[in-house]
Amino acid sequence: MMPDPGPSPALSLAIDAGALAGNWRALDRLSGGARAGAAVKADAYGLGARVAVPILREAGCGRFFVAHWAEAAAIRALVPAGGLSVLHGPLTASDVAFALASGARPVINSLAQARRWLEAGGGPCDLMVDTGMNRLGLEMAALGDEAVARLEVIGLLSHLASADEDSAQNPRQQALWRQACAAVRHREASLANSAGIMLGEAYHGELTRPGLALYGGVPRPELAPHIRQVVRPRAAILQTRWLEAGDTVGYNATFIAPGRMRVGVIALGYADGYLRCWTGRGEMLAGDERLPVLGRVSMDMSVIDLTRVPALGEGDWVEAAYDLPTAARASGLSQYELLTLLGRRFGR
Give the residues lining the site for ligand PLP (CB under 6 A).
39, 41, 87, 159, 193-194, 209-212
Nearer to ligand PLP, 122 or 211 (CB): 211
Work out how close the CB of 165 gets to ligand PLP at its nearest, in angstroms, rounded to a whole number: 13
Work out how close the CB of 309 gets to ligand PLP at its nearest, in angstroms, rounded to a whole number: 36
Q: Find, among 321, 322, 312, the residue nearest to 265 by Cα.
A: 312
41 included as an active-site residue = yes
Dist. CA 290–CA 322, nearest whole Å? 12
Dist. CA 90–CA 92, nearest whole Å? 6
- For residue 71, the one-letter residue type is E
Work out how close the CB of 335 gets to ligand PLP at its nearest, in angstroms, rounded to a whole number: 9
The secondary element (H helix, E strand) that includes residue 77 is none
Q: Which residue is nearest to ligand PLP (CB)?
A: 211
The secondary element (H helix, E strand) that includes residue 273 is none
Nearer to ligand PLP, 105 or 209 (CB): 209
Q: How far, in whole angstroms, is CA 336 from its chain's centroid?
A: 6
Work out how close the CB of 87 gets to ligand PLP at its nearest, in angstroms, rounded to a whole number: 5
Q: Find, among 290, 289, 272, 268, the residue nearest to 281 by Cα.
A: 290
Nearer to ligand PLP, 89 or 210 (CB): 210
Dist. CA 28–CA 215, nearest whole Å? 14
Nearer to ligand PLP, 216 or 295 (CB): 216
Residues with a catalytic annotation lie at 41, 251
